[in-house]
């Protein structure tokens, strides 16, 4: 008989964990073992129950039933501090860092006891060298890119010497190069015998990096597989229970009039990273998707804010929406011109966390003239639109009309995209359209934006996901240090040329492209 290699021992194990929120069963007897020396992927559609499971495994949530085992012994984590004390570290999607403080000050806040800052800075340097993390202890966090901030969170976690490290969608905010670096770090950690739980919607990277993968669907355990033996399609099928479509390829079509113009657009920032815009020029035509690539923190947020009207621009003629000078208009006035905006941060910016979903519909539709008439909210129309969004964009949640904060990240993203698209805007500006969204929903969002462009809308997409832009944009430009390269057709450029421009070479490839 052939020898079956023995699996490494489980460090942290969830045994039949169940968690209900009202009538919704977010985890239904879910079991999962994270083993020494292994990277274990946790996969599932938006709302499948991944975050709920992780929160129970680190003491942020208490299970209704089931148990946790630590090295085979039952354990109860009453809060994250008790799981940390046992060597379970978590890096969440939303970083908990103070911008005004330095890296070392932030790290000091997260560690028990008191250590002199120079001693801590030396420990950070050691950790950075050992795991190839690229973090400078005395830099102010406000000046760091998203990738650098994530490394700070990882360093903070590693200084606690965790035996189990949980990474919640760590690559969704990273450039391809940064992701590669993170994979090397993860490999080093597992080589040392630590266990890593890796939550990701990117199936290709899961297949490369992870030794095992647990798939959840609808709060239930579906399978544990060896991802290296699976294909993109077979993993997606396990997650969704059906085949997952890919985004249709872009086909050539006639472009209409420019719907958005940026003309010598300048913003004098406050000196913090990525707040300055320098002489930005582009146009987005009816019928096209213009993609803006770049490493986060290079001015993308400043660009979004100035296009949506959240920050003022001194030269009112530098933004034109559908033929109207729009630089001096408020967000509501810009919406009245037919523009729609989806910011990167869905809770707090795109939606109010403590308002019900239906009331969140009002935030961007109150000026449209259908839902609010003569100052009176037409409740039935509002609720009708809410249901249209939920049905059309497959937004899943428990209950009838929960508060926004109750939704899983991906479902909230589908909601805010749906809310804007169903307003039928002539121009839509979207920052990170598929951030935290599962493969099927990401394909759906991209296809929807494509279809909308085909119907005459101009679509501007800001995305850190270069593969996404190469897949569905018509033209692409790169932001770096507040400047934008001249947009070039996607077909006329290459990953390498864009990568160079992302690093600061103001050239996205293609004939005649030059710094704007
Ligand atoms: N505090 C809460 N109150 C009510 N419902 C909740 C709460 N937290 C999560 N849920 C619901 O539980 C289900 C599972 O959510 P969870 O966040 O675990 O999913 P997920 O797999 O992490 O999704 P995503 O990939 O979108 O982040 C969802 O339907 C969500 O709306």
Question: Is residue 237 pLDDT above 60, yes or no?
Answer: yes
Are 334 and 271 members of one domain? yes
| Residue 251 confidence class, pLDDT cut points 50, 70, 90 | low
Mean pLDDT, all residues of the chain: 87
In a domain, 352, yes or no: yes
**3-state SS string for 270-338:** CCCCCCCEEEEEEEEECCCEEEEECCCCCCHHHHHHHHHCCCCCCCHHHEEECCEECCCCCHHHHHHCC
Percent of the chain with pLDDT over 70: 93
> Ligand 1: which residue has its CA nearest to atom 28?
47
Q: Note the pLDDT tens digit of each residue in 424-454.
A: 999 999 999 988 788 888 888 999 999 999 9
Question: Is residue 120 pLDDT above 70, yes or no?
Answer: yes
Are 171 and 107 members of one domain? yes
> Ligand 1: which residue has its CA nearest to atom 10?
406
- Is residue 487 within 8 A of residue 302, CB to CB? The reply is no
The pair of three-digit structure tokens given for residue 162, joined into one six-digit string: 């965790």
Beta strand 195-199 pairing with 164-168:
parallel
From 51, 55, 436, the mutation candidate for ligand 1 (largest count of ligand atoms within 8 A of CB) is: 51
Are 58 and 200 members of one domain? yes
When computed from its CA atoms, the radius of gyration of the chain, rounded to whole angstroms, is: 23
pTM of the predicted model over 0.80: no
Ligand 1 cavity residues, CB under 6 Å: 21, 24, 26, 44, 46-52, 396-398, 406-411, 436
Q: How far is the CA of 407 from the centre of ligand 1 (A)?
A: 6
In a domain, 509, yes or no: no
> Ligand 1: which residue has its CA nearest to atom 12?
26
Question: What is the total residue count of the chain?
Answer: 516
Distance CA 73, CA 91 (A): 24
In a domain, 367, yes or no: yes
Q: How far is the CA of 51 from the centre of ligand 1 (A)?
A: 7
In a domain, 511, yes or no: no
| Residue 253 confidence class, pLDDT cut points 50, 70, 90 | low
- Is residue 497 within 8 A of residue 514, CB to CB? The reply is no
**Ligand 1 atom at minimum distance from 413 CA:** 26
pLDDT of residue 478: 92
Are 153 and 267 members of one domain? no
Question: Is residue 362 pLDDT above 50, yes or no?
Answer: yes
Q: Note the pLDDT tens digit of each residue in 122-181.
A: 999 999 999 988 889 999 988 887 788 889 999 999 998 999 999 998 887 777 778 888
**Ligand 1 atom at minimum distance from 216 CA:** 21
Are 218 and 300 members of one domain? no
Are 287 and 147 members of one domain? no
Q: How far is the CA of 371 from the centre of ligand 1 (A)?
A: 29
Are 196 and 277 members of one domain? no
DSSP state of 509: S
Q: How far is the CA of 357 from the centre of ligand 1 (A)?
A: 15
The pair of three-digit structure tokens given for residue 63, joined into one six-digit string: 């299970």
Are 96 and 172 members of one domain? yes
The pair of three-digit structure tokens given for residue 53, joined into one six-digit string: 């499971």
pLDDT of residue 510: 39
| Of 28-42, 73-87, 294-308, 491-505, minimum mean pLDDT range | 491-505
Question: Is residue 1 pLDDT above 70, yes or no?
Answer: no
Most confident of 21-25, 224-228, 273-277: 224-228
Last residue of a domain, one of 206, 240, 274: 240
What is the residue range of 115's domain?
10-240
Q: How far is the CA of 48 from the centre of ligand 1 (A)?
A: 7
Question: Is residue 367 pLDDT above 70, yes or no?
Answer: yes
Reduced to 3 states, what is the DSSP secondary structure of residue 362?
Answer: helix
Q: Interface pTM (ipTM) of the complex?
A: 0.97
Distance CA 120, CA 125 (A): 9
Are 78 and 27 members of one domain? yes
**Ligand 1 atom at minimum distance from 49 CA:** 18
Q: How far is the CA of 93 from the centre of ligand 1 (A)?
A: 14
Element (H, E) at 159: helix 146-159
| Of 250-254, 272-276, 412-416, 480-484, minimum mean pLDDT range | 250-254
**Ligand 1 atom at minimum distance from 54 CA:** 18
pLDDT of residue 507: 43
Q: How far is CA 390 from CA 383, 400, 514, in A?
A: 10, 11, 43
Reduced to 3 states, what is the DSSP secondary structure of residue 176?
Answer: helix
Q: Note the pLDDT tens digit of each residue in 459-515.
A: 999 998 888 898 899 999 999 889 999 999 998 888 778 877 776 554 444 333 333
Q: How far is the CA of 216 from the centre of ligand 1 (A)?
A: 12
Instruction: Count structural domains, the chain.
Output: 2
Are 235 and 295 members of one domain? no
Average pLDDT over residues 19-29: 93
From 14, 21, 215, 399, the mutation candidate for ligand 1 (largest count of ligand atoms within 8 A of CB) is: 21
Are 201 and 341 members of one domain? no
In a domain, 350, yes or no: yes
> Ligand 1: which residue has its CA nearest to atom 16?
49
Last residue of a domain, one of 190, 212, 240: 240
From 30, 52, 436, the mutation candidate for ligand 1 (largest count of ligand atoms within 8 A of CB) is: 52
Are 113 and 57 members of one domain? yes
In a domain, 50, yes or no: yes
**Ligand 1 atom at minimum distance from 408 CA:** 17
Distance CA 400, CA 503 (A): 47
In a domain, 91, yes or no: yes
Q: How far is the CA of 355 from the centre of ligand 1 (A)?
A: 17
Q: How far is the CA of 46 from the centre of ligand 1 (A)?
A: 8
DSSP state of 485: B
Reduced to 3 states, what is the DSSP secondary structure of residue 135?
Answer: coil
The pair of three-digit structure tokens given for residue 222, joined into one six-digit string: 């579906």
Q: What is the CATH number of the domain that holds 278?
A: 3.40.50.300
Q: 27 has which bridge partners?
A: 19
> Ligand 1: which residue has its CA nearest to atom 8?
406
Q: How far is CA 31 from CA 167, 282, 296, in A?
A: 18, 51, 36
Distance CA 412, CA 395 (A): 7
| Residue 348 confidence class, pLDDT cut points 50, 70, 90 | confident
Last residue of a domain, one of 240, 275, 293: 240
In a domain, 115, yes or no: yes
Q: Helices 146-159 & 103-110, crossing angle to 10 degrees?
A: 40
Q: How far is the CA of 270 from the centre of ligand 1 (A)?
A: 37
Q: How far is the CA of 408 from the centre of ligand 1 (A)?
A: 4
């Amino acid at each position: 008989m052939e020898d079956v290699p023995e699996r490494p021992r489980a460090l942290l194990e969830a045994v039949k964990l169940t968690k209900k929120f009202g009538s919704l069963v977010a985890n239904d007897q879910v079991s999962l073992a994270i083993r020494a020396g292994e990277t274990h992927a946790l996969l599932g559609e938006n709302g499948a129950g991944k975050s709920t499971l992780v929160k129970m495994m680190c003491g942020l949530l208490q299970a209704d039933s089931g148990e946790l085992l630590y090295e085979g012994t039952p354990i109860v984590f009453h809060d994250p501090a008790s799981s940390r004390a046992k060597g379970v570290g978590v890096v969440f999607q939303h970083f908990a860092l103070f911008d005004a403080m330095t890296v070392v000050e932030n790290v000091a806040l997260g560690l028990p006891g008191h250590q002199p800052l120079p001693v801590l800075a030396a420990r950070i340097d050691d950790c950075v060298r050992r795991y190839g993390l690229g973090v400078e202890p005395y830099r102010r966090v406000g000046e760091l890119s998203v990738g650098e901030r994530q490394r700070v969170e990882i360093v903070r976690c590693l200084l606690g010497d965790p035996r189990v490290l949980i990474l919640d969608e760590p690559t969704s905010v990273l450039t391809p190069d940064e992701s590669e670096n993170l994979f090397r770090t993860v490999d080093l950690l597992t080589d040392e015998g630590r266990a890593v739980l890796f939550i990701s919607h990117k199936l290709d990277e899961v297949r490369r990096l992870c030794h095992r993968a647990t798939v959840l669907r609808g709060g239930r355990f579906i399978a544990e597989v060896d991802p290296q033996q699976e294909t993109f399609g077979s993993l997606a099928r396990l997650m969704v229970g059906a085949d997952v479509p890919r985004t249709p390829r872009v086909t050539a079509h006639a472009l209409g009039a420019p719907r958005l113009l940026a003309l010598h657009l300048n913003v004098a920032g406050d000196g913090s990273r990525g707040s300055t815009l320098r002489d930005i020029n582009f146009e987005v035509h009816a019928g096209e998707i213009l993609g803006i690539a770049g490493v986060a923190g290079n001015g993308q947020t400043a660009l979004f804010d100035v296009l949506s009207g959240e920050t003022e621009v001194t030269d009112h003629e530098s933004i034109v929406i559908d033929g109207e000078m729009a630089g001096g208009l408020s967000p509501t006035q810009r919406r009245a011109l037919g523009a729609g905006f989806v910011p990167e941060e869905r809770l707090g910016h795109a939606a109010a966390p403590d308002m019900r979903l239906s009331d969140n519909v009002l935030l961007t539709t109150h000026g449209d003239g259908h839902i609010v008439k003569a100052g009176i909210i037409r409740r039935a129309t509002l609720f009708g639109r809410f249901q249209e969004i939920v049905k059309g964009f497959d937004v899943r949640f428990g209950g009838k009309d929960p508060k926004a904060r109750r939704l899983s990240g991906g479902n909230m993203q589908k909601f805010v995209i749906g809310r804007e698209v169903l307003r039928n805007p002539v121009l839509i500006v979207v920052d990170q359209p598929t951030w935290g969204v599962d493969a099927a929903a990401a394909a759906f969002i991209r296809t929807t934006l494509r279809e909308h462009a085909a119907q005459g809308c101009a679509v501007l997409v800001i995305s850190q996901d270069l593969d996404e832009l190469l897949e569905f944009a018509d033209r692409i430009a790169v932001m770096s240090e507040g400047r934008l390269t001249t947009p070039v057709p996607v077909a006329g450029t290459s990953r390498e040329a864009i990568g160079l421009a992302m690093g600061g070479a103001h050239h996205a490839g293609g004939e005649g492209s030059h710094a704007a």
